[in-house]
Structure 1
Amino acid sequence: MDWRAGVDAYCERTSPEFWAEPVNAVTNAAFLAAAILMWRRAPLPMARALSAVLGVIGVGSFLFHTFAERWAGLADVLPILAFILLYIFAANRDFLGLSPVRSFLGVLAFFPYAALAVPLFARLGFLGSSAGYAPIPVLILVYAAFLRPRAREAARGMAMGALLLIVSLTFRTLDGPLCATVPMGTHFMWHILNAVMLAWMIETYSRHMLAGRRHSA
């Protein structure tokens, strides 16, 4: 595979130049701002780990929307995957009360889940490359359903996160179809809303953990 091969996947890009996607590139600052905010707001080890990964997501996405090469595409998606897996572990351990071993096995279960779910969403056709992300809000809603009897606030927060992600994915999906009428595309809204959504997920985790500490004090 040629890792230096160019990738032209977004409406805003009309040339292979470094700054061919200025809006898509600059809006990655939303991830960095969200990461700094949540790092300061959440002095919990897991919350800070998630905040650090959130910052790396911004860097990876910036690289992809500037260099626009296959290696940069990998730098874009791997931090997102890392955030998902880390949050699943945190949700299993700290929301559901599973042991670390069972929490890790739950992380591993994400891979067969995604392998089954992504092709199903891809059959819908209109999702395009967003089909790869579509199983995530479904998974968040499943966690929200399990949490509702035992941690209603956390369940509410997870459901809100899923809704934010669905709206965010809508803008990502519309980038190509609306290209003729919106020349700069709509992908930049995926960045902004996704930054808000990921920060909210960290906030939901932090609130749950801090509330637990207050109740046990």
Structure 2
Amino acid sequence: MEWSAQVDGYCERLGPGFWAEPVNALTNLAFIVAAIWAWRRGEGVVPVRVLAAILFAIGVGSGLFHTLATRWAGVADVVPILIYILTYIYLANKHFLGLSWVWSGVGTALFFPYAAATVPLFAMVPGLGGSAGYAPVPLLIFAYAVALRHRLPEVAQGLAIGAGILVLSILFRALDMGVCTGWPLGTHFMWHILNAVMLGWMIEVLWRFLVKG
């Protein structure tokens, strides 16, 4: 595989230039802003600051991909997202469900077979395309919300809100290439903005639980 090969997978990109996706590139600042806010919010709360640091890495990785548009930058884009997902699952298992660190880790590892089983099903949904890889995540968040609805209703409500925002975010991501003819800017930038809101909100849900109980 040629790691420096160019990747052109977004409506806004019309060439190989660094600023060929200016809106997609600049909207990654939303991740950075959310990460800085979460870092300040999480003073003295280690799990929150860990998530804030990962959120910052998401912004940097996505920024690299939407400017350099190479395969290695694509890896830098998706790896921090995966790390965030796995970290949040672990923290949810440990703090929301009250599991030991061992069982929290086991529950986190189960994300991989869960994703392997559900991504092909979402891939069959017309129009979802490459966004099928993200679709299992809001479903999983909703599942946690349902499981916690009686014991931790405020957490459950917060998780459900986060899942709803992510569903909308994935919708904009999936629509991107399909609207090029009538809207050359595309809709991928909304994926960045809504994702930044959603990831920041998910950190807020955890912070409220850890600090306010």
The TM tier, using the shorter chain, reads over 0.9
TM-score when normalising by structure 2: 0.98
Instruction: After TM superposition, give the deviation of residue 210 of structure 1 in Å.
Output: 1.2
The 3-state SS of whatever aligns with 2:110 is helix
Instruction: After TM superposition, give the deviation of residue 166 of structure 1 in Å.
Output: 0.5
Give the Cα–Cα distance (whole angstroms) in 2 for the partners of residues 202 and 81 of structure 1. 15
Matches within 5 A, 1:14-25: 14-25=14-25
1:30 aligned residue:
30
2:8 aligned residue:
8
Give the Cα–Cα distance (whole angstroms) in 1 for the partners of residues 192 and 125 of structure 2. 23
2:209 aligned residue:
208
1:65 aligned residue:
66
2:142 aligned residue:
141
Question: In structure 1, what residue type is equivalent to 2:42?
Answer: A
TM-score when normalising by structure 1: 0.97
Question: In structure 1, what residue type is equivalent to 2:180?
Answer: C
1:115 aligned residue:
116
Instruction: After TM superposition, give the deviation of residue 125 of structure 1 in Å.
Output: 3.1
1:215 aligned residue:
none
Where does structure 1 lack aligned partners over 5 or more consecutive residues?
Answer: 213-217
2:54 aligned residue:
53
Q: After superposition, give the CA deviation of every residue in 1:38-57 in whole Å (9 maximum; x if it has no partner).
A: 11112210000000000000
1:130 aligned residue:
131
The 3-state SS of whatever aligns with 2:5 is coil
The 3-state SS of whatever aligns with 1:2 is coil
- Number of residues of Structure 1 aligned to a counterpart in Structure 2: 212
2:186 aligned residue:
185
Contact 2:127 2:175 in 1 (8 A): no
1:166 aligned residue:
167
Instruction: After TM superposition, give the deviation of residue 181 of structure 1 in Å.
Output: 1.0
The 3-state SS of whatever aligns with 2:81 is helix
Give the Cα–Cα distance (whole angstroms) in 2 for the partners of residues 83 and 125 of structure 1. 28
Instruction: After TM superposition, give the deviation of residue 17 of structure 1 in Å.
Output: 0.8
Q: After superposition, give the CA deviation of every residue in 1:89-123 in whole Å (9 maximum; x if it has no partner).
A: 00000000000000000110000000011011001
Which segment is superposed worse, 40-49 or 30-39? 40-49
Deviation beyond 6 Å, 4+ runs, structure 1: none
Give the Cα–Cα distance (whole angstroms) in 2 for the partners of residues 211 and 143 of structure 1. 20
Instruction: After TM superposition, give the deviation of residue 124 of structure 1 in Å.
Output: 1.3
Percent identity between matched residues is 60
